[in-house]
Amino acid sequence: MILATTILETGRGTFPVSLHEDGSGARCLSIRQGDLGLPETAVRLHSACLFGESLGALDCDCSAQLDAAMRVIQERGRGAVIYLFQEGRGAGLLSKIHGMETQRVEGVNSFAAYESMGLPRDLRDYSLAKTALTDIGVGATISVMSNHPAKRAALEEMGYSVVARLPLSYQVSSLAYPELRMKRDEGGYEVDFGDITFSG
Ligand SMILES: [Zn+2]
């Protein structure tokens, strides 16, 4: 259910935002525009990244993907980002920081760091997004704004028909390149390197 809604004025456009809660008390946010019941609504399931989104960390593309998805919604006039508070690929901020330090000291990638800590590479659960997607009336067919096959699979498991994947174009630091290459080569992500510009 929707707990509260307001209108957010941003540099990427004006977006209604709502806080949603499921039956267990878990909460997520929707950021959206337009009539979402029409076919092929653009949807992004986005996992929180405090360091990238708020502190300007350069080693990932989370902030750039969120920015690009909101710009796509603005251009199309409709679509939704479901913002899930699951830091560190669902392992939480503490594990994320431990993992980052393992990466830094041992020179390994984030998958290997998690594995050395006895954690799965990815603990994320997207099922909470169904609450928000239902609350805001997203129709049966959607276009996904993500390179992560697990997000597409999760949406399909929720009953949505994913008819397209919209590549996101954005610029990130070259410091993000190793993480993106790891996601493509070891994680099966469909990273759109042709749409990503690396700087610095
Ligand atoms: Zn990030």
**38 Cα–ligand 1 center, Å:** 31
Active site residues: 122, 124
Residue 165 CA: distances (Å) to CA of 5, 37, 95, 162, 169: 28, 18, 31, 8, 13
pLDDT band at 200 (very low <50, low <70, confident <90, very high): confident
> What is the DSSP secondary-structure string of 84-97?
E--TGGGT-HHHHH
Helix H or strand E segment including 60: none
**39 Cα–ligand 1 center, Å:** 30
**Domains of the chain, with CATH numbers?**
2-86+124-188 (3.40.50.10990)
**68 Cα–ligand 1 center, Å:** 14
**47 Cα–ligand 1 center, Å:** 9
User: What φ, ψ does residue 21 adopt, rounded to 5°?
Assistant: -140, 135
pLDDT of residue 107: 93
State the greatest distance between any 2 C-alpha atoms of the chain, in Å, as a whole number. 49
Q: ∠ CA 65-44-63 to the nearest 5 degrees?
A: 20
pLDDT of residue 117: 95
Cα–Cα dist 64/175, whole Å? 13
Chain segment 150-187, per-residue pLDDT in tens: 999 999 999 999 999 999 999 999 999 999 999 999 99
> Which residues does residue 45 pair with via DSSP β-bridges, in sequence order?
82
Q: ∠ CA 115-120-125 to the nearest 5 degrees?
A: 155
* Residue pointed to by tokens 């410091």: 175
pTM for this one? 0.96
Torsion of CA 44, 48, 53, 58, to 10 degrees: -100
